[in-house]
Structure 1
Amino acid sequence: MTADQPAPAQPVNPVAGAFDGVDPEPGVPKPDPILVVDDITKHFGGLRAVDVHHLEIQRGAITALIGPNGAGKTTFFNLLTGFDRPDSGSVYLNGESITRVAPHRLASRGMVRTFQLTKALTRMPVIDNMKLGATGQIGEHFWQALLPVWRRQEAEIEAQADALLERFNLTHMRDEYAGTLSGGQRKLVEMARALMTDPTIVMLDEPMAGVNPALTQSLLGHVKSLRADGRTVIFVEHDMDVVQDISDWVVVMAEGAIIAEGRPDDISADERVIDAYLGSHHDSDLFEEFENEQANEQDNEPGSPDEHA
């Protein structure tokens, strides 16, 4: 099986009923929140980039973060994952404050993220890129390399990396340089590497951006498999088909604030969301309008190089 083949069929959604009785309103409480945000703000000069009063992320669910360009999604994502610091407010993971915790320490607490532009070291083999994702490594020092405990840890890390490469259908790319992989394959490697820490919450920044349609189906299957593992997934995405396909809950940002929350079907008909995306065009379904906009953009493009898996 190659990386561009769809992932195996996943079990029934384990959190299918988690949002029963949850009102589709901004800041609504969730039955079992793993991540809670209170009064987070971030300014750049005189620009208010983020102003989120309250947000709860349901444990074990796939939550999409969407919004028009300039809505503050990436900045908010960076604040949640420790890559930027808020001017005020708090973020809690499992009831403990992580407001100003560094990203590498968040990884040890169970939160990891991927990036829209992948961070693979292109001149290293895929297997070595994978091993870099492991935490608690002793380190590569001459005297430590002579110790059995170091060699045993190295063997365990490599075995874990190989198992994840197999899970993501990347075993055949194990010894290839990461720079030779397609953009979609790098996304798979980054997602697989994120699991080296055995996280409880996985943050994905536009995981489908720049990925060809064949590989998109594989990525979608793997995101769903994270939920099947019992992990929580939060992802930023512009592709509304993807949002409808895999999301249990959708959070919508505009001008730095949360303007709507709900199931995908709730969001597609929410006038606040339609206003944010389409202004006064209230005569269309949001998802249909977005699909038409994407189709028009593709028709006007001269064409992009084919991405081979």
Structure 2
Amino acid sequence: MPADATAPEPTQNATDPNEPILVADNVVRRFGGLTAVDVDHVEVPRGKITALIGPNGAGKTTFFNLLTGFDQPDTGSWTYNGHDLAGVPAYKVARRGMVRTFQLTKVLAKLSVIENMRLAATDQRGERFWSAPWAALWRSQEREVTERAYALLERFKLKEKADDFAGSLSGGQRKLLEVARALMVDPELVMLDEPMAGVNPALKQSLLGHVKSLREDGMTVLFVEHDMDMVRDISDHVIVMAQGRIVSEGTPDDVMSDPKVIDAYLGEHHDTDITEEREAAELAEKIAEAGGKSEHLEG
């Protein structure tokens, strides 16, 4: 049953570090005849970095959208810090300390970097209808928000870009801005959707360090990624999705050697011999697909 929209926001009380921060049960999302997500049960361990991996089309981003309130499932339940999130809108999920970034960055391009940061802060008195005209009621809070924003920009090596339009940043810098902006709400759980996609090698190393620092600061991280070297480097726990379902969980080394994971990525025929005729046929099929895409784009 959807959560009561008028209920007060739950406070973040001290919790057992051994208890999972996020638990999902029987979460199903269908689009017409296609079942995009069908997760029986999954738990995200608290205070650790968990990677959500899987081949393209496995349902990872759709699952992210469901957990964070950007989409609603057909069935299922999930809790964050023991609180039911079914039916809770995305902005309230963020207020509760569970924030996310996007595969395609969502910066406000026509605003400056520092304005992007300040807008992310929650419960600002200057944004309320009755207090907005009275600067004395919110000016000190605004200074605190601005100081926090500059401190985060400095941490993410973006302070020199504070007055630049966010739209002028490189792809990698936008990724850094999204992570920094997410921290303005002082989250407990940070969810990153392909944070390394489109990032140059130099910024990728910087971003990796920042993700590790989130764990060191006591936060939990759940991220979607395709780079297996990076998954091995920073992950404590790995969850593998294929065709919308969870097919494996465990440490990076255990998961990488799981036959079900190998099948999910390489297909059921990965261990059979490929004849010259079959190899030629597969190559011709790929060329035909590429040609079809090219014609579509030209059209």
Closer, same or farther: CA 124–140 of 1 in aligned 2, 3 Å: farther
CA contact (8 A) 1:275 1:282 kept: no
| Aligned equivalent of 1:162, options 127, 150, 160 | 150
Deviation at 1:235, TM superposition (A): 0.3
| Aligned equivalent of 1:146, options 104, 125, 134 | 134
Matched, 1:89 2:79: no
- CA RMSD, 1 decimal: 1.5
Matched, 1:132 2:123: no
Matched, 1:62 2:56: no
Number of matched residues? Answer: 254
| Aligned equivalent of 1:234, options 222, 226, 234 | 222
Task: Output the amino acid matched with 1:52.
Answer: V
Residue 34 (structure 2) aligns with: 47
CA contact (8 A) 2:36 2:244 kept: yes
Deviates more, 1:50-59 or 1:149-158: 149-158
Deviation at 1:141, TM superposition (A): 6.0
Residue 102 (structure 2) aligns with: 115
Residue 258 (structure 2) aligns with: 270
Distance (whole Å) between structure 2 residues aligned to residue 193 and residue 246 of structure 1: 22
Task: Output the amino acid matched with 2:56.
Answer: N
Matched, 1:191 2:176: no
| Aligned equivalent of 2:199, options 211, 228, 236 | 211
Residue 66 (structure 2) aligns with: 79
Task: Output the amino acid matched with 2:197.
Answer: A
Note the alpha carbon deviations across 1:125-145, whole angstroms, 9 max, x for none: 100001111011121769624
Matched, 1:222 2:210: yes
SS of structure 1 residue aligned to 2:21: strand
CA contact (8 A) 1:122 1:179 kept: yes
Task: Output the amino acid matched with 1:232.
Answer: T
CA contact (8 A) 1:36 1:54 kept: yes
Distance (whole Å) between structure 1 residues aligned to residue 158 and residue 133 of structure 2: 28
SS of structure 2 residue aligned to 1:132: helix
Distance (whole Å) between structure 1 residues aligned to residue 245 and residue 129 of structure 2: 48
Unaligned runs of 5+ in 2: 1-16, 273-299
Distance (whole Å) between structure 2 residues aligned to residue 173 and residue 128 of structure 1: 11
Task: Output the amino acid matched with 1:281.
Answer: H
Task: Output the amino acid matched with 2:261.
Answer: V
Closer, same or farther: CA 237–86 of 1 in aligned 2, 3 Å: same
SS of structure 1 residue aligned to 2:132: helix
Matched, 1:281 2:266: no
* Percent of pairs with identical residues: 63
SS of structure 2 residue aligned to 1:90: strand
Distance (whole Å) between structure 2 residues aligned to residue 141 and residue 105 of structure 1: 19
SS of structure 1 residue aligned to 2:23: strand
The structure with the larger Rg is: 2
SS of structure 1 residue aligned to 2:181: helix
Matched, 1:98 2:91: no
Residue 284 (structure 2) aligns with: none
SS of structure 2 residue aligned to 1:144: coil
Task: Output the amino acid matched with 1:45.
Answer: G
Matched, 1:32 2:19: yes
SS of structure 2 residue aligned to 1:33: coil
CA contact (8 A) 1:227 1:233 kept: yes
Closer, same or farther: CA 142–125 of 1 in aligned 2, 3 Å: farther
Higher relative contact order, structure no. (Cα contacts within 8 Å, ≥ 6 residues apart): 1
Hey, which of these two has a bigger chunk of helix by percent? 2
Unaligned runs of 5+ in 1: 1-29, 284-309
CA contact (8 A) 2:131 2:137 kept: no
Distance (whole Å) between structure 1 residues aligned to residue 250 and residue 131 of structure 2: 55
Closer, same or farther: CA 156–54 of 1 in aligned 2, 3 Å: same
Task: Output the amino acid matched with 2:229.
Answer: D
Residue 13 (structure 2) aligns with: none
Deviation at 1:60, TM superposition (A): 0.5
Residue 302 (structure 1) aligns with: none
Distance (whole Å) between structure 1 residues aligned to residue 131 and residue 217 of structure 2: 38
